[in-house]
Structure 1
Amino acid sequence: MCGIAGIWRPGEGGEEAVRRMIGALAHRGPDDRGVFSDEQVVLGHRRLSILDPSPLGHQPMAAADGRVQVVFNGEIYNFHELRDQLGGAGHTFRSDSDTEVLLYGFLEWGEALIERLVGDFAFAIYDGREQALLLARDRFGVKPLYYARLGDQLVFASEVRAILRSGRVAAQLDEARLPEFLSLQSVAPPATLVEGVRMLEPGATMRVDAGGVCIRKFWDLAEHAAEPLAGDPATMRREVQRRLYRAVERQMVSDVPLGAFLSGGIDSSAVVGMMSRLVERPIQTIAVAFDDAGFDDGHFARIAADAFGTDHVEVKLTDDELYEHAHAALGAQDHPSADGINTYIVSQAARRRGLKVALSGLGGDELFAGYSNFARLERLGRFQSGLAAVPAPLRHAVATVCDGPTRPIAAQKIAELLRSDGSIAEAYPVVRRVLSRAQLGELLHEPGDETLGVTRRLRQAFFARPNMPTLSQVSYAEATSYMHDILLRDTDQMSMAHSLEVRVPLLDHELAEYVVRIPDAVKRPKMAPKQLMVDALDGLLPDEIVHRPKQGFRMPFERWLKGPLRDTCRTNLQRVAAIPSFREHAIATLWEDFLAGKASVSWSRVWLLNCLGSWIANVLEPTSQ
């Protein structure tokens, strides 16, 4: 994992601008840095050495004839296979890095190289002969890539902060995106919360040349879910097992110390269990536990560690230590989020124990139907036709009774579902909401159609594929929304704050392409969460792990907001209240009601606004001065 940056048609001061940009990415790559510059482009790189950590892996990396330059963030897990193919075609390699495979793969296959890649990547390839720049991002969007178009100039980087440090893009909040952010804790790509800054979508390329800019999608999970598989469930489970082990084995390649996060849930335990079967040495695992038993799930991590014989490290934190980490995590956010503190803490623990790479179980809930949303939306799908038969005026009348900013959020969600058409495209954003429409109306002068982007994307995917299984529809919704927009982004920014590469083998695209085609009855028999994964692993997981209640990484947010974070939160909320789109008095009332303990104001609403204010202070304000 690294950090990349660059400017197309840089003009005067372009190299200095890119040097500032990679300076802002130093945490992503403390091992090396480099810049390439000519009249057409400036490329910059910060290196976290994982494969071939020798100087031969320095970037920007050039082909032997100097025609092509590349800057690359990520890992190509099938680079040995591609290297063998390219060697057979006559290419000679100087290093053992996967970066060089990108160079010669591009020279051999052009943009068709991308379809051959198995990995997590964001890269820029400059072809000096063609005077063209190619940007590409991996299929699920594990690695971020942002850009800003300024006339015929293009500025791009691994982080929003780096783009702002170029001095060429104004640090201006895009207030039109606030309703979506407050509803879903995120902004769907290609938009961001910074005006003029965009994100290259997952599974997409961007080509820039004298003819302009062309963006192309090369992969979409929905295309593989169009037709369910037919056949023997036992055969499907065996194939899932084969693909699971292959994905984990691929992602264990590393020339530096590698371990795994272990929370004691099914997903992380499955990854660690497979790792332990693939190598003879003990796997190093990291878990975070709390002195407060009400927030501690270290017990299950220890069960999994004992079962798989890992070299397990449990980092036990006091409440004060946890608060200090949470405060630091807010400063590490490149894009505001109410989540991710857990990843910040466990990444720091892993790095302090000498790891440079850690495998994670992220993606298991999305592909193997682990979230409760799968059951909710499956039930809603069964009632969809009956709901549509109820006259709209009656449904809207019932919805009005349930609705209102002082009503419980669950009642307000029911109201929105009653007003919807019952489809997953309309229902999914409702079940994922943090703030309801009524609550948005209290806070913002113009709430707008805050979830239209997500609904539109889902409608387009499902309309063209009417045979997609229900659970696969939910998987697609989760993977392209909550997982991409929040979980993957948070994992990247929080792990890279500590120069740690986190890999996600459960998002191997060949595994995902197969799983989304499996019929619902096989994937989740009797609606048991992640039963397909458990059955496919054939007794690998301890019973205590399989049958434990699902539990997130809980922290005492309410206690913090009313205690040690109180003054900071008040300042951040005042910062938010000063944004023209917000109703200033509504923010003040929300804060007062929260401190007074009113049941209508949950800590999550206050925390989300606090995170937004903190991000403005740490990212926008320093670069706008």
Structure 2
Amino acid sequence: MCGLAGWVDFARDVTGQRDVLSDMTETMICRGPDAGGMWFDQHAALGHRRLSIIDLDGGRQPMTAEEDGRELACLTYTGEVYNFEELRRELESRGHRFRTRSDTEVVLRGYLEWGEDLVSRLNGMYAFALWDVRKQELLLIRDRMGVKPLFYFPLPEGVVFGSEPKAILAHPAVPRRVDASGLREVLEMVKTPEHGVFAGLHEVRPGQLVRVGRQGLSKRQYWSLEAREHTDDLDTTVGTVRELLEDIVSRQIVADVPLGSLLSGGLDSSVITALAAKGLSARGEGPVRSFSVDFADHGAGFVEDPVRGTSDAPFVRDLVKHVGADHREIIIDSKELADPQLRASVLRALDLPPAYWGDMWPSLYRLFQAVRGESTVALSGESADEVFGGYRWFFDQEAVQAQTFPWLTSATGKYFDGKSLFDPGLMQKLDMPGFLRDSYAQAIGETPRLVGESAQNRRMREMSYVNLTRFVQTLLDRKDRMSMAVGLEVRVPFCDHRLVEYVFNTPWEMKSFDGREKSLLRAATADLLPQSIVERVKSPYPTTQDPAYEQALRDSLAAVVDDSGSPVLPLLDAAEVKRLLATPVGAMSAQYERSGLEMALGLNSWLSSYDITLDI
């Protein structure tokens, strides 16, 4: 896993601007601490930072392909292609010769053989920039589910690109400006495809190819979810899900570095850990390494709340014993999560205010930091809820019928509302309800339709679509930024496009055939798990219940208010901030109040640290 950066400018010779490319590439050193490289053509500059996972000695980048001493193309690439060995054999049969064992070279040679149609053959998580020397053309390509990030900023005669906004912001032609549309993206728990928050910044959409040539910039969607008739019966469907999962995990446990699994004791992570243990055992390897996170005294002092009904710790222990995992529990002190240096590290990793989920950002950072001390690659159960229908809003009729994003309905929306401390006049000017209506209408308008589908299945297909294209992207971003900030590669087997396509087209009555969440996943994997986990109800990633954390947030906000130079002050409702600070900790909905606190603090740090011009 790596970080990439670069730009194309057809109006000038860029070969003399090594300092600019170096500055851009060095912002990606967290994503690629093992090696770096730069490559130049007259109108193209490509940079790379490498985290070595496959072929530790041979996969250096940017990587070029030559013929008769002439360079044909150059690739800067991040990610993993899990079917690279099959593709390599096919390319060798077509006469290609390889210098390395890396999947990077397979992607490069695959482009020479199939052109941009190569993308339809790739199975994996990836983002890359490829400069075709012969055509003088740049391709920017992102994987189907958007596991790996890729951004770009159009220039009058080219484009600047990078794995993260910070790489692009390091280019002198890119302003640090945020307009009203960008602020709306920050304040609402909605991620608009292709919107990069900073003015003029775009994100390559999952499954999209962006082409930049002398004639300008064009985009092509090479993959998207499609509606297809599901003809398999229930038993066949359950069997197919199991076969897909076994194949997916067997591919994703391949690495030339230590590999582990993130384990919460929930169904999703337990399935992945159990399958990894099975796959490693079949290869004569193992035991599987697993890692869990908890807060000091949480296991003994856990209190049920509206989101989390049970503590993770007992279920983690059950799975560890069941599969014989080599397990490490990582304990986090809640008070540390408010530490200014830790929160600054999170902000630098994200390039945006780390508002929603609050303490989950720094706790994930600390978890991944600890995992990185023992493993370079980790498997995660991320996105199973979106694929199989695991969230409570899939079963809440108010949320199902609401004409808005289901995670923003009354049943759950208060946990994702970070606007409670902001000035009503600003909210009216931004027209957040109108923004939500437009965003939701856009998502529903994209949802593929199946002729003859029942009204219930049509509605549940829409629910699945908005979760798979809007909500899961926020989780994948969080996972990617926090893991890559410490040089850890996290793989997400449930994002394999074959599984996503198959389950997306499975009727809702099959997905919930036993009346519970994730019925198909449970039925397909129950034999791998202890009964306690098979029967466990969905419980999200843990959040601290320690009131000391909220008190630390309040103290930080009080300091912001006392500093007349705090850039967030003009955006806040002073009376509401005063009311909150005067209210005893725990007197109101802690999670709700914390969302507002987190947003105000995060936005203040972001505006200040990134020297942003707010143009609203």
So what's the TM-score if we normalise by structure 1?
Answer: 0.86
Deviations 1:512-542 (A, max 9, x none): 1111111111111243011210101142111
Deviation at 1:26, TM superposition (A): 0.7
Match of 1:22?
A: 25
1:15/1:453 Cα in 2 relative to 1: closer, same or farther (>3 Å)?
farther
Deviates most, 357-366 or 429-438: 429-438
Match of 1:391?
A: none
- 5 Å-filtered alignment, 1:348-363, equals 348-353=369-374, 355-363=375-383
Match of 2:598?
A: 607
Deviation at 1:572, TM superposition (A): 5.2
Match of 1:63?
A: 65
Letter in 2 for 1:89: R
Match of 2:221?
A: 217
Deviation at 1:209, TM superposition (A): 0.6
Deviation at 1:563, TM superposition (A): 3.0
User: Is residue 500 of structure 1 aligned with residue 474 of structure 2?
Assistant: no
Does structure 2 retain, via aligned residues, the 8 Å contact 1:256–1:357?
Answer: yes
1:549/1:459 Cα in 2 relative to 1: closer, same or farther (>3 Å)?
closer
Equivalent-residue separation in structure 1 for 2:370 and 2:188 (angstroms)? 32
Does structure 1 retain, via aligned residues, the 8 Å contact 2:418–2:599?
Answer: no
Does structure 2 retain, via aligned residues, the 8 Å contact 1:271–1:361?
Answer: yes
Does structure 2 retain, via aligned residues, the 8 Å contact 1:43–1:60?
Answer: yes
* Secondary structure, counterpart of 2:145 in structure 1: coil
Task: Indicate which of 570, 574, 579 corresponds to 1:585.
Answer: 574
Deviation at 1:187, TM superposition (A): 3.7
Unaligned runs of 5+ in 2: 303-310
Does structure 2 retain, via aligned residues, the 8 Å contact 1:292–1:318?
Answer: no
* Secondary structure, counterpart of 1:141 in structure 2: coil
Equivalent-residue separation in structure 2 for 1:109 and 1:593 (angstroms)? 65
- 5 Å-filtered alignment, 1:84-233, equals 84-184=89-189, 186-221=190-225, 223=226, 226-233=227-234
* Secondary structure, counterpart of 2:440 in structure 1: helix
Does structure 1 retain, via aligned residues, the 8 Å contact 2:29–2:49?
Answer: yes
1:160/1:269 Cα in 2 relative to 1: closer, same or farther (>3 Å)?
same
* Secondary structure, counterpart of 1:450 in structure 2: helix
Letter in 2 for 1:269: S
User: Is residue 37 of structure 1 aligned with residue 40 of structure 2?
Assistant: yes
Letter in 2 for 1:335: L
Letter in 1 for 2:322: A
- 5 Å-filtered alignment, 1:320-331, equals 320-324=335-339, 327=343, 328-331=345-348
Deviations 1:180-225 (A, max 9, x none): 43231x542211221121111111010011111011111112x1xx
- 5 Å-filtered alignment, 1:274-289, equals 274-280=275-281, 281-289=286-294
Deviations 1:399-449 (A, max 9, x none): xxxxxxxxxxxxxxxxxx5xx5xxxx6656546643399987725351312
1:149/1:607 Cα in 2 relative to 1: closer, same or farther (>3 Å)?
same
* Secondary structure, counterpart of 1:173 in structure 2: strand
Match of 1:240?
A: 241
Equivalent-residue separation in structure 2 for 1:375 and 1:441 (angstroms)? 34
Letter in 2 for 1:451: L
* Secondary structure, counterpart of 1:134 in structure 2: strand
Deviates most, 166-175 or 149-158: 166-175
Equivalent-residue separation in structure 2 for 1:436 and 1:23 (angstroms)? 33
1:469/1:535 Cα in 2 relative to 1: closer, same or farther (>3 Å)?
farther
Deviation at 1:620, TM superposition (A): 4.0
* Secondary structure, counterpart of 2:552 in structure 1: coil
Equivalent-residue separation in structure 2 for 1:440 and 1:465 (angstroms)? 42
Deviation at 1:584, TM superposition (A): 4.8
1:253/1:165 Cα in 2 relative to 1: closer, same or farther (>3 Å)?
same
User: Is residue 47 of structure 1 aligned with residue 50 of structure 2?
Assistant: yes
Match of 2:2?
A: 2
Equivalent-residue separation in structure 1 for 2:197 and 2:524 (angstroms)? 41
User: Is residue 344 of structure 1 aligned with residue 345 of structure 2?
Assistant: no
Match of 1:413?
A: none
Equivalent-residue separation in structure 1 for 2:428 and 2:443 (angstroms)? 28
Match of 2:315?
A: 300
Equivalent-residue separation in structure 2 for 1:285 and 1:427 (angstroms)? 32
So what's the TM-score if we normalise by structure 2?
Answer: 0.87
Does structure 1 retain, via aligned residues, the 8 Å contact 2:81–2:125?
Answer: yes
* Secondary structure, counterpart of 1:539 in structure 2: helix
* Secondary structure, counterpart of 1:502 in structure 2: strand
Does structure 1 retain, via aligned residues, the 8 Å contact 2:182–2:199?
Answer: no
The Cα RMSD (Å) is 2.8
Unaligned runs of 5+ in 1: 385-416
1:590/1:603 Cα in 2 relative to 1: closer, same or farther (>3 Å)?
farther
1:563/1:435 Cα in 2 relative to 1: closer, same or farther (>3 Å)?
closer
